[in-house]
Each structure stands twice: as C-alpha cells, then as structure tokens.
Copies of this chain bind each other. A is one copy, B any other.
Amino acid sequence: MEEKEISQAVIGRLPRYFRYLGELKDEGVERISSQELSELMKVTASQIRQDFNNFGGFGQQGYGYNVEHLYKEIGRILGLDVIHNFIIIGAGNLGQALGNYLNFERRGFIFRGMFDINPQLVGRDVRGVKVMPMEEMERFVRENDIDIAVLTIPKTSAVEVAERLAANGIRAIWNFAHVDLNVPEGIQVESVHLSDSLMKLSYNISRYKKEKENS
C-alpha cells in the first residue's frame, strides 16, 4: 500500500477517525457507511472518502466499511501496532499529569523515565517511575530504546535539551514548551502550545461578542 506524500492535514484527522471507530467497535457496531460516519463526526462524506482514498480506500464494499477492520487499519497506519517508549523531561504538574495518563499505555506508548533539574523532585515516584537527575538523561535514552521525549520544561531550557536528545538518538519530541524547536531532519516534533489554543478561544469569544453587538 502506498503511504507516501500524505498531507499532515489528513494525518491530523486520522486520530479522530480512530477515536470514533474505537467507540463504534466498543458499542458492537460492525459496519458503517461513509454517510453515517459523516453524520456522526460532522464532516462531509466526500471528505471521509477522500481521506480514506489516501490509504487505498479501506475496501468499502456494498454497505459501508467494516468497523473493526477500519479501526485496526488506521491504528496500524498511525503506528499504534508497535511499542513506543517515552520519557518525560520536567517533573512539574504537567509532566506528572502526562506520566499518570493511563490511556497512552493502551495505545502502546510506555512511560519509561522522568527527569528533572530540581534536586527536590529527583527520587519522587510517578506511577512506578522514579524521577532522575538531568545528567542521566542521555545515557538513559541511548540504553533504553527511547523513541519519544516529552518536554514539559520552560522554553528557556527546551532548545538545549532538545539538542541533547537529538544528539543521543531520540526519534521524536512531544513539545509542551512555549517555543518552536529546530531539530535535525528525521526527528519528528509535535508541539502542543497551550497558550495558543487559549488565545484562539479568546479571539472567538471577542468576535462573537462583536457580532452580537452589531446584529
């Protein structure tokens, strides 16, 4: 199956399909048409068919898609059929929240290590994982087949830490620091800029107020 040159916009929509299909599967639904999926997800049926055509269409035959097959296929495309070991850099509230999030484990993301610069946090236990000092990060990444590093540290240190991770073979960075990271080619970065999301919300509140005042 050809999986090249698929836009990040399409990729960005796959987890949502995966989520809805998982729920349908749990509810015992066996088949679903693109029309029904369209109504459920509030996207057009043609968008769904276009998205799925990027992956060969997933063999819609007669009445709709086989839910379990589609769920498994999308999971496989998303790389959820393999184990990804991850570490968290920054043992503050957000780091601990992510470390404690069991759903990641269900998707094959395994929490292996946690690091912090603050000696008072070193040694603390987060769901069976002990917080280690930053000096041990590089060795740990090299020796424990770590794919993903989650950065929940201030932006002032994020750039330097990302460079150290890149130099030691990390494959991907999930970045919560409020800064854009430039890493060598081949290292994947996905940023969650929480303030940006909040500002977008603020914009939409303001716009709606203005529209209401003007109408």
Give the contacts of A1-46 with B (CB-CB under 8 A). Answer: 3-4, 8, 11-12, 14-16, 18-19, 41-42
Contact with B along A26-68 (1 / 0, CB 8 A): 0000000000000001100000000000000000000000000
Q: Which of A77-85, A133-141, A158-166 contacts B (4 or more CB under 8 A)?
A: A77-85
Q: Shortest distance in angstroms between A186's beta carbon and chain B's nearest beta carbon? A: 6
Contact with B along A135-169 (1 / 0, CB 8 A): 00000000000011000000000000000000000
C-alpha spacing A204/B104, complex, angstroms: 17
The digit string for A101-115, where 1 denotes a CB below 8 A from any CB of B, is 101100111000000
B196 engages A84 (CB within 8 Å): no
Dominant SS among interface residues on chain A = helix
Residue of B nearest to A192 (CB): B197
* A101-B194 contact in complex given A203-B11, A205-B171, A206-B79, C-beta closer than 8 Å: yes
A195 located at the interface, meaning its Cβ lies under 8 Å from any Cβ of chain B in the complex: yes
Answer yes or no: A93 CB below 8 A from chain B CBs.
yes
The answer to whether the Cβ of A178 comes within 8 Å of any Cβ in the partner chain is yes
Q: Flag whether A118 is at the interface (Cβ < 8 A).
A: no
Cα of A178 to Cα of B196 in the assembled complex, Å: 19
Interface residues of A in 201-215 (CB under 8 A from B): 201-208, 210-212
Instruction: Confirm or deny: A124 has a beta carbon within 8 angstroms of a beta carbon on chain B.
Output: no
A93-B97, A96-B93, A104-B195 known; A206 vs B12 contact (CB < 8 Å): no
Residues of A174-194 at the interface with B, using a CB-CB cut-off of 8 Å, are: 174, 178, 180, 186, 188, 190, 192-194
List of B residues within 8 angstroms of A18 by Cβ: 199
Query: Can you list 19 A-B contacts (CB < 8 A)?
Result: A3-B207, A11-B203, A11-B204, A15-B196, A15-B199, A16-B193, A19-B193, A42-B180, A77-B206, A78-B199, A78-B206, A79-B205, A79-B207, A84-B205, A94-B97, A108-B202, A172-B204, A186-B208, A190-B198
